[in-house]
């Protein structure tokens, strides 16, 4: 598929996916979501990809939010479809075996922050702001924001941010654990690529199993989650990567992983 509003670039096991609608601050409308759905499905099917960096085009916005111009005309039924599509895309990102890094290079409000929260790790440029600002417009988050934010920062802080439509800067986001790094704008993408390289250096199956264990565990009580963790860890002991990793450690050399 040829994308009009996305740029998908490959660098070995790394992909950089850029929302490319800078004239509208990369806002998400139906056309962007359809392209994003296709891109996410293609990424999920690509067995060579390990890490995806998601960012926005231009100097101002990561994803400013959902397209207010389009949303203003939606009926309740149309909004259910729009919200359902966005939520499904983000859940697909969250549960696939690729690691997603959000490089938040500019404003990320509403659906923009919700998209970033579906990523495994979030890095943010200094000098910008993020927030779930929907209630200031008479609406509410519908791409999973009321569910992910409490899981990331705790229910009390999430309630405060959602109910006040607060816009917070990189240092506050870092302090509460909403982002994992804050960088000058020029250093953000290099930092994301360095993080991606650190992840790619490790065993593919082990990273994928860890991601699945974290995701499943967030939905379960700790006893059931720990039992699932043991199951996953035991499966890894049948893999070539496990044998290579432990052998390389004993032999004092770098392992060569094949994802098998």
The rounded radius of gyration (Å) of the Cα atoms in the chain is: 19
Give me the residue label for tokens 């919200």.
83
Q: Determine which one of 35, 94, 134, 220 is catalytic.
A: 134
**Letter string b/e over residues 60-73, b meaning 16 or more CB atoms within 10 A of that residue's CB:** ebbbbbbbeebbee
Query: Read out DSSP for 200-239?
Result: HTS-HHHHHHHHHHHHHHTTS-HHHHHHHHHHHHHHHTTS
Q: Determine which one of 78, 94, 114, 126 is catalytic.
A: 114
> In degrees rounded to 5, what are phi and psi of residue 137?
-110, 5
- Specify whether 70 is catalytic: no
- Specify whether 35 is catalytic: no
**Letter string b/e over residues 218-255, b meaning 16 or more CB atoms within 10 A of that residue's CB:** eeeeeeeeeeebeebeeebeebebbebbeeeeeeeeeb
Between the two ends of the chain, the Cα-to-Cα distance in Å is: 30
Return the active site residues: 114, 134
């Amino acid at each position: 598929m040829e994308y009009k509003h996305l740029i998908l670039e490959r660098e070995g096991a790394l992909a950089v996916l850029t929302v490319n609608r800078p004239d509208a601050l990369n806002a998400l409308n139906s056309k962007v979501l359809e392209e994003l759905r296709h891109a996410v499905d293609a990424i999920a099917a690509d067995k060579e990809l390990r890490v995806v960096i998601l960012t926005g085009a231009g100097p101002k916005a990561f994803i400013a939010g959902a397209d207010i111009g389009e949303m203003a005309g939606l009926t309740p039924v149309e909004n259910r479809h729009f919200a359902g599509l966005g939520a499904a895309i983000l859940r697909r990102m969250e549960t696939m075996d690729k690691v997603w890094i959000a490089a938040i290079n500019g404003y990320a409000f509403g659906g923009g922050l919700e998209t970033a929260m579906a990523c495994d790790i979030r890095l943010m440029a200094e000098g910008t702001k993020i927030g779930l600002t929907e209630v200031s417009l008479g609406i509410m988050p519908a791409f999973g924001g009321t569910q992910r934010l409490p899981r990331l920062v705790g229910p009390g802080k999430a309630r405060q941010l959602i109910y006040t439509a607060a816009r917070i800067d990189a240092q506050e986001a870092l302090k509460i654990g909403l982002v994992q790094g804050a960088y000058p704008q020029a250093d953000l993408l290099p930092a994301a690529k360095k993080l991606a390289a650190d992840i790619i250096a490790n065993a593919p199956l082990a990273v994928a199993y860890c991601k699945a264990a974290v995701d499943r565990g967030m939905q379960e009580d700790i006893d059931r989650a720990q039992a699932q963790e043991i199951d996953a860890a035991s499966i890894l002991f049948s893999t070539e990567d496990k044998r290579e990793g432990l052998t390389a450690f004993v032999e004092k050399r770098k392992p060569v992983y094949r994802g098998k």
